Copies of this chain bind each other. A is one copy, B any other.
């Protein structure tokens, strides 16, 4: 039975109505809009003959009644605040339509990939690395509601949490929008993901001395803000000499205390991260970063300290799965696909720890994501669905 791309697009557009915000959606994890979307998705899974439930962390598992071997496919349903309609939703609806096309595919929806409460709590729960004590400790990062309270309000308290049934799955597949402009820029329709970059996130704290901006001479100052500026300028010069081709680095936040026009900043806090698919590159850049901080402490009258916030491991896509998806892409969209890394994190990186995993990208119009204007052409969505189904068929037969 071929995949029905019209019904696939229709389901995507129905899902878009839950928490509709301008042309995007606002579906924070466990909000009423998000829970409505989850319940609707469970009902759609059941309509397609899957045995579907929501578990105690908000994950959905729709089990195929077909005999094995099975594939697992899916993504997430909640969105960032006031964000796009496709991020996450696309991979869930695509998985639904793999199953609807008659393939032996279980469908998974992983909770809170967008991190309203924690870091990948859904896929980490499913793959067995989320402790109850972490659930106890987490709270919503925007409004502070404890995760336990949110789960109770969503009616999920006390439910068991699903895990990976040993021996059931041959592989995990996740379809997603690219969230960048590489595909669109080259006129391509499909990206076969070679790996998911790791993010090494650091906090740099610089301690100086808060003082009056008029009465403290330049020679007397210990200005934490200017020390931060000079350190970031040094990193900006050093990183290009040591990075790889697709490494990215970002200082997303610079906060000066107290942040008043006439007070010399006594303290600066920088959130600095870099991403790469190669662990050796990540390690090399850590050495460079530590050298820059040491050099700052040698030069400045302020003290900079470096703290690792999170150092994740790059996830490499399974080569055989990549080849199956690449062959499917070449068959259906000849010359209009490429292999590429994923610069963003995805649930697939946790699934890759317990089974072969791979991802398929479709283009993002203007590269926009995490914004309500996020979009992808219908023809690219449909092509992605067909390539995913053809790839899944090849994996199951291979």
Residues of A within 8 A of B (CB): 178-182, 197, 199, 201, 210-218, 220, 223, 225-226, 229-230, 232-233, 236, 240, 243, 246-256, 259-265, 271, 273, 275, 309, 342-345, 367, 369-371
Complex: A371 Cα to B254 Cα, angstroms: 24
Instruction: Determine how close the nearest CB of chain B comes to the CB of A32; give it in whole angstroms.
Output: 25
Does the CB pair B367–A216 fall under 8 Å?
Answer: yes
- How many protomers of this protein does the assembly include? 2
Knowing A211-B367, A217-B248, say if A229 contacts B225 (CB, 8 Å): no
Knowing A217-B180, A217-B248, say if A255 contacts B262 (CB, 8 Å): no
* Residue from the list B199, B248, B251, B271 in contact with A229, Cβ < 8 A: B251
* Shortest Cβ distance from A371 into B: residue: B210
Does the CB pair B179–A212 fall under 8 Å?
Answer: yes
Does the CB pair A271–B275 fall under 8 Å?
Answer: no
* Residue from the list B179, B213, B252, B309 in contact with A215, Cβ < 8 A: B179
Does the CB pair A256–B254 fall under 8 Å?
Answer: yes
Complex: A181 Cα to B221 Cα, angstroms: 11
Knowing A199-B262, A201-B261, A232-B226, say if A212 contacts B256 (CB, 8 Å): no
Does the CB pair A233–B229 fall under 8 Å?
Answer: yes
Does the CB pair A369–B250 fall under 8 Å?
Answer: no
Knowing A233-B233, A251-B226, say if A215 contacts B263 (CB, 8 Å): no
